[in-house]
Amino acid sequence: MKKIGLGVTAFAAAVLMSGTAGAATSPVFESDYGAAVVGGDDQTAGGSLPFAFSFFGQTYTTFDASTNGFVSLGGGNGSGCCNGSVGDFLNGAARIAPEWFDIVGTVYLNTAVADRAVFTWVGSEYGGGGAYAAQAQLFANGNIIFGYSGDSIPNSHTTLTGISAGGGLADPGETELTGAAFSTGANRAVYDVAAANTFDLNGRNVYFTANSQGGYTVSNDPIAGVPEPATWALMLSGFFGAGATLRSRRARQRLIEA
């Protein structure tokens, strides 16, 4: 039989194409940003959602978008300059914040996609920083997806990422959104705070999936459709282990035949 050599890179590519690499996921970032809602520094503008959106047991039909990385529902929270505030997050109007910090840029809204309202923030950090793009997709069934593309790591601002029903909530405490999936339980807010230069959701999606308890199941994965380094290591160790097993079997077979 002709021997076939399969290199590490080719093997990994074959695994990805076969769909057996569980960590490989399709990107979830809408490339069509839609129309501009508001732009500049510390600016807000309101409008109507394309459907009645259920959020922590309440239904909303209007929004108020801030250039500083969040959308308020059913009322305004102002522009929220200049760092994400836990107190304001819990006590203001309902808020969806993919990355609340001081952004100079434009908020776009795409309502042309079926059953979704896609908000996208494009700009840069106030005072400097690379090109920035973050997204919050609101689905007609109540689900939410955050996505991050570009240089989403602020150099000099604290960021707050999360969702809140607002209205004077008790503080549930901070939750690391890059960890394992979890349920919000009875809490009507979930958030993650990152100091300057420590934002760790860049290049990832965060999913808020509405559950039967009126809250959300929260999970995350890479926005790019390739495994993370730990997954590569696991895949390759399995490959090399399989190779060692095959070599051992062939050696035993040669001894028997001799």
Pairing of strands 116-125, 132-139: antiparallel
Q: How far is residue 133's CA from residue 118's CA, in Å, rounded to a whole number? A: 13
pLDDT of residue 23: 30
Q: How far is residue 197's CA from residue 159's CA, in Å, rounded to a whole number? A: 10
pLDDT of residue 140: 96
**What are the backbone angles phi and psi of residue 117, rounded to the nearest 5°?**
-120, 115
Q: Under DSSP, is residue 17 helix (H, G, I), strand (E, B) or coil?
A: helix
Structural domain boundaries in the chain:
35-222, 229-258
Q: How far is residue 166's CA from residue 74's CA, in Å, rounded to a whole number? A: 11
pLDDT of residue 131: 77
Taking only the tens of pLDDT, the chain with its 258 residues reads: 222 232 222 222 222 222 322 232 344 789 899 999 999 999 999 999 999 999 999 999 999 999 999 999 998 899 999 889 999 999 999 999 999 999 999 999 999 998 999 999 999 999 877 778 999 999 999 999 999 986 668 888 999 999 999 999 999 999 999 999 999 998 999 999 999 989 999 889 999 999 988 999 999 998 754 333 343 334 334 433 444 444 454 444 544 455
Tell me how many helices (H) and strands (E) the chain has.
3, 14
pLDDT of residue 153: 80
pLDDT of residue 152: 67
Enter the pTM of the model.
0.77
The percent of the chain in helix, strand and coil, each rounded to the nearest 5, is 20, 40, 45
Distances (CA, A) of 107 to 38, 41, 87, 120: 5, 11, 24, 6
